[in-house]
Amino acid sequence: MDMNEIKEIFFQECEEQLAELESGLLRLNDGDRDPETVNAVFRAVHSIKGGAGAFGLDDLVSFAHVFETTLDCVRSNKLEPTQEVLKVMLKSADVLADLTNVARDGGSVDQARSAQLIRELEALAKGEAPPAASAAEPAAPKAVAAKPAPVAKAAPVEPVVNEHGFAPVAFSFDDFGGDEDEAVSDLPAYDIVFKPKSELYTKGNEATLLLRDLSRLGEMSIHCNMDSLPPLDQMDPEAAYFSWKVSIKTDKGEDAVRSVFEFAEWDCDLEVTAMETGEASESASDDLPMQPVPFDLSALDGDLDVPLGVVEEEEQIAAAQEAVAAAETASNVVQMAGNASRAAASEKSAAAAAAAQNNAQQASSAAAPTIRVDLDRVDRLINLVGELVINQAMLSQSVIENDSNGVSSINMGLEELQQLTREIQDSVMAIRAQPVKPVFQRMARTVREIADITGKSVRLVTEGENTEVDKTVIDKLAEPLTHMIRNAVDHGLEMPEKRLAAGKSAEGTVKLTAKHRSGRIVIELSDDGAGINREKVRQKAIDNDLIAADANLSDEEIDNLIFHAGFSTADKVSDLSGRGVGMDVVKRSIQALGGRINISSKPGHGSVFTMSLPLTLAVLDGMVVTVAGQTLVVPLTAIVETLQPDAAAIHSFGATQRLISIRNSFCPLVDVGRILNFRATQANPVEGVALLVESEGGGQRALMVDAIQGQRQVVIKSLEANYTHVPGIAAATILGDGRVALILDVDAVVSASRGQSLQLESSLAAAG
């Protein structure tokens, strides 16, 4: 495991901690005063800080530190978590998330914003919490005094506090000799003086590793001699100044001890002295031998915070809480350091680490055990299961064909097989399914930011955030949802004065809910704002030539006008919603996911946007049709209705065009077989079936096909993998008879019918 992998794990954990942090803060915002919630919030920030310290992410550490200090005031009841305080904290959580992202992906963060928040946080910690400040002052010298002495001495009663003992040992900041209990052992003991020369380090050896190897031989205690360490300004960073005195009890013999230094003995002064049994062998029961570096850094980090904890009046409790937080950090890093850590720890330290981990687990309200799996592996499994399903369908079909009475035992077995494959498919799909919670949480942030900019007071209520949907859907959902939330706050909700005048509470409510409904996920976004101003929408549509001035539209039709391209009813183009992207973009991205979006609005009471999305992008509900002897699949989401054209309803229009009249409106007829070049001449519409489809441009077209075979759920297969993109075709699938059927790209077919050549479009796409 290299450093980058460890770092990646750290960032993954950061994401979890940030989610924890935000949800904790939101709980506090809702009036939750459970100390455990405050602790959870504190731990989240602390863990991020600890890990960031280990990777030298200074910006992150310094911000987290200030944040943590303020949170500590809340934790010790010196600062009341009022709405104002929590507002600052939620913003700080956003900045912390930004800083984490910057640390991972590069880029820059709004320095002014984070500096401003640091000031606000500091003001909260000091100014608004005078008791904390005054308590801190007399205690400050004490904290300084406490620093040379490790916490293990300060609070030896708490076993977990000994975790802090790692730092002094590992970094040799202190002598642990005095702390060790005197114990008698029967094992032979050795005194080792190990004084590395500079050459040892230049040859790539590492004293830590040697001492760690040594620690595997038995119980040992270490004393670092730093006497020769010069002042900082005279120090040569590449020179060796430290030496170590090690007492070890081992039954492996002196040779084993010497062999540890086998490759280093020319570059160090080494003395190994056998001691009388029981003499100098001090049991290091509270003491821990060397730990791998990441562990030490974080433990050191925890140690630095201890003075903060010590400052408080309830010193013991605070120290214990601190220790739990540090233990969690430690356990995180233990996890990061992985095998190295495990191998390194001697029996005792392993036990201690386990204890730390236990503490951490208890502290972090025991989450269900999970594993991280590479997405590729899951996708491969999903693909294989898709093939299994197809194969099973093919097998069933051929058995049915050959077994007319359908009572043989093969048939029964097949039915069971079918059930099993269905179950396997469902379970495999469930692996990719994720709760929508992360996206909803991101929306909370969006609402906060926009409320801030617009000066509106907004509350976001979320429901059903544990509703699960495929990961790809979640990933692609965030963008349209953000846009809609922006719209809802910016255009939907009124200013507080206006709301009060309308008899509503000053605070507007935006509600985001998710639920499963008949095999799809339905996401609803509602606000209690003014609703859609239909007169305005209508006028705008007339101005933009979207509708005729005397058009007779139902309320619903007017509402849906906002999904037309380039439509925005806000008088002034605000910096939020008027970025040139309108609701048409939202609609298109939802459609690209195979979803549908609808709006219903009540003037004065607000609007409700309802999105219905498929649970997965691996399968698709399609209508299987026949065109010129070929089987095609048309995505069901695109189809508005199907009809059998009547000869009287078909009207010729110009040389080649034909229109079909549907309830007194005319809709162009598109022969799919002609567009796809399956036949040379247009088929007779009366002999076929028309599928009324709605394309991304909003226009309706009647697609002519020869016959409808039925409706089926199909597994989507890529054509591009072995072939190239085919204009007019979205993908392929495999039907029950084992043959490949093509899935129609309705949008491309409709735009081709507008006169743009399919070929041309595809070569443009390829060139672009």
Partner 1 sequence: MTYLAKNLTNGGRELIAFRIGDQEFCVNVMSVREIRGWTPATPMPHAPRYVLGVINLRGAVLPIIDLSARLGMRPAEPTVRHVIIVTQVKDKVVGLLVEAVSDILTIKDEDIQPTPDMTSEFERTFARGILAIEGRMICLIELEAVFPHSESEAA
Residue 718 contacts partner 1 per CB under 8 A:
yes
3-state helix, strand, coil in the chain (%, to 5): 50, 20, 30
| Under rule CB under 8 A, residue 721 binds partner 1 | yes
CB of 476 to partner 1, least distance (A): 24
Instruction: Identify whether the C-beta of residue 708 lies closer than 8 Å to the C-beta of residue 623.
Output: yes
Q: Least distance from C-beta 749 to partner 1, angstroms?
A: 10
Angstrom distances, CA of residue 106 to CA of 56, 109, 113: 14, 9, 18
* Binding flag, residue 326, partner 1 (CB under 8 A): no
Number of residues that bind partner 1 (CB under 8 A): 36
Q: Could you give the CA distance from residue 761 to residue 656 in angstroms, rounded to a whole number?
A: 22
Closest approach of partner 1 to the CB of residue 295, in Å: 43
- Nearest CB to partner 1, comparing residues 283 and 762: 762
Q: Which amino acid is at 449?
A: E
Q: Should residue 66 be labelled a site residue for partner 1 when binding is judged by CB under 8 A?
A: no
Pick one of 19, 187, 581, 729: the residue that binds partner 1 (CB under 8 A).
729
Kind plus residue range of the DSSP H or E element containing 171: helix 166-171
Three-state DSSP class for 174? coil
Span interacting with partner 1, options 141-149, 152-160, 645-653, 676-684, rule CB under 8 A? 676-684
Residue 424 near partner 1 by CB under 8 A: no
Question: Rule CB under 8 A: is residue 713 a binding residue for partner 1?
Answer: no
Contact residue for partner 1 among 146, 272, 424, 719 (CB under 8 A): 719
Stretch that binds partner 1, among 75-83, 439-447, 473-481, 727-735 (CB under 8 A): 727-735
Q: Which residues pair with 711 in a beta bridge?
A: 623
Per CB under 8 A, the segment of 101-109, 166-174, 229-237, 736-744 that binds partner 1 is 736-744
Nearer to partner 1, 371 or 766 (CB): 766
Residue 739 lies near partner 1 (rule: CB under 8 A)? yes
Nearer to partner 1, 362 or 677 (CB): 677
- The answer to whether 641 touches 601, Cβ cutoff 8 Å, is no
Q: Work out which of 97, 590, 618, 758 binds partner 1, going by CB under 8 A.
A: 758
398 interacts with partner 1 by CB under 8 A = no
Residues 6+ apart with CB under 8 A from 745: 727, 728, 729, 730
Are residues 588 and 696 in contact, defined by beta-carbon separation less than 8 angstroms? yes
Q: For the CB of residue 723, give the shortest distance to partner 1 in the complex, in Å.
A: 4
Query: Rounded to an integer, what distance in angstroms lies between the CA atom of residue 221 and that of residue 162?
Result: 15
Name the minimum Å distance from CB 393 to partner 1. Answer: 12
From the list 172-180, 372-380, 607-615, 724-732, the region that binds partner 1 by CB under 8 A is 724-732
Q: Which of 510, 624, 734, 746 binds partner 1 (CB under 8 A)?
A: 734
Q: Which stretch binds partner 1 (CB under 8 A): 133-141, 208-216, 295-303, 729-737?
A: 729-737
In the bound state with partner 1, the residue whose beta carbon lies nearer, of 246 and 632, is: 632
Residue listed under structure tokens 């001495």:
153
Contact 484, 609 (CB under 8 A): yes
- The tokens for 708 are 């409808």
In the complex, minimum distance from the CB of residue 290 to partner 1, in angstroms, rounded to a whole number = 48
Which of 640, 657, 761 lies closest to 699 in space, CA to CA? 640
Measure the CA–CA gap between 526 and 394, rounded to whole angstroms. Answer: 45
Number of neighbours of residue 678 by Cβ within 10 angstroms: 16
User: How many Å apart are CA 280 and CA 268, to the nearest integer?
Assistant: 23
Which residues fall within 8 angstroms of residue 574, CB to CB, at 6 or more apart? 454, 490
What minimum distance in Å lies between the beta carbon of 720 and partner 1? 8
**Single residue of 53, 81, 614, 727 touching partner 1 by CB under 8 A:** 727
One DSSP character per residue, 140-156 reads HHHHHHHTTS-HHHH-T
Residue range at the interface with partner 1 (CB under 8 A); choices 80-88, 255-263, 597-605, 740-748 = 740-748
Residue 767 touching partner 1 (CB under 8 A): yes
Interface stretch with partner 1, choices 104-112, 446-454, 493-501, 726-734 (CB under 8 A): 726-734
Backbone φ and ψ for 460, nearest 5 degrees, come out as -100, 125
- Of residues 269 and 720, the one with the C-beta less far from partner 1: 720
Q: Which two tokens stand for residue 535?
A: 């007169």
Using CB under 8 A, pick the residue from 64, 300, 689, 741 that binds partner 1: 741
Segment 359 to 388, residues that bind partner 1, using CB under 8 A:
383-384, 386-387
Shortest Cβ 642–partner 1 spacing (Å): 22
Closest approach, Cβ 579 to partner 1, in A, equals 31
Q: Which CA distances in Å does 614 have to 402, 473, 713? A: 36, 8, 11
- Give the residue, chosen from 42, 349, 717, 746, that forms a contact with partner 1 under the rule CB under 8 A: 717
- List the alpha helices (DSSP H) in 561-635: 583-592
Q: Rank residues 302 and 727 by Cβ distance to partner 1 and give the closer one.
A: 727
Of the pair 74, 741, the CB lying nearest partner 1 is at 741
CA nearest neighbour of 641 among 657, 609, 665: 665
Q: Which of residues 597-656 bind partner 1 (CB under 8 A)?
A: 630-631
For partner 1, the closer of residues 358 and 718 by Cβ is: 718
| Cα–Cα dist 320/288, whole Å | 19
- 723 near partner 1 (CB under 8 A): yes
Amino acid at 9: I
* Gap between the Cα atoms of 553 and 712, Å rounded: 35
Of 326, 705, 732, 746, the residue at the interface with partner 1 (CB under 8 A) is: 732
Say how far apart CA 308 and CA 306 lie, in whole Å.
5
Choose one: 28-36, 578-586, 705-713, 758-766; the region binding partner 1 (CB under 8 A): 758-766
Q: Which residue has the tokens 């800080």?
A: 49
Those residues whose C-beta lies under 8 Å from the C-beta of residue 472, and which sit 6 or more positions away, are 432, 616, 617
Are 477 and 468 a contacting pair, CB within 8 Å? no
Q: Which is nearer to partner 1, 276 or 723 (CB)?
A: 723
Instruction: Please report how close the Cβ of residue 395 comes to partner 1 at its closest, in angstroms.
Output: 13
- Which of residues 421, 495, 678, 699 is near partner 1 by CB under 8 A? 678
Residue among 707, 738, 754, 756 that touches partner 1 (CB under 8 A): 738
Report the C-alpha gap between 136 and 73 in whole angstroms.
11
- Greatest alpha-carbon span in the chain: 113
If one asks whether residue 544 binds partner 1 (CB under 8 A), the answer comes out as: no
φ, ψ at 594 (rounded to 5°): 75, 25
Q: Are 71 and 347 in contact (CB under 8 A)?
A: no
**Per rule CB under 8 A, is residue 259 in the interface with partner 1?**
no
Residue 681 touches partner 1, criterion: CB under 8 A: no
Q: Are 481 and 583 in contact (CB under 8 A)?
A: no
Determine the Cα–Cα distance for residues 223 and 246; give it in Å rounded to an integer: 6
CB of 681 to partner 1, least distance (A): 16
Query: In terms of Cα–Cα distance, which of 768, 742, 746 is closest to 758?
Result: 746
Nearer to partner 1, 256 or 628 (CB): 628
Identity of the residue, 124 or 734, whose beta carbon is nearer to partner 1 in the bound complex = 734
- Between 74 and 429, name the residue whose CB sits nearer to partner 1: 429
What is the C-alpha to C-alpha distance for residues 284 and 387, in angstroms, rounded to an integer?
60
The residue ranges that bind partner 1 (CB under 8 A) are: 383-384, 386-387, 390-391, 630-631, 676-678, 717-719, 721-729, 732, 734, 738-742, 758-759, 762-763, 766-767
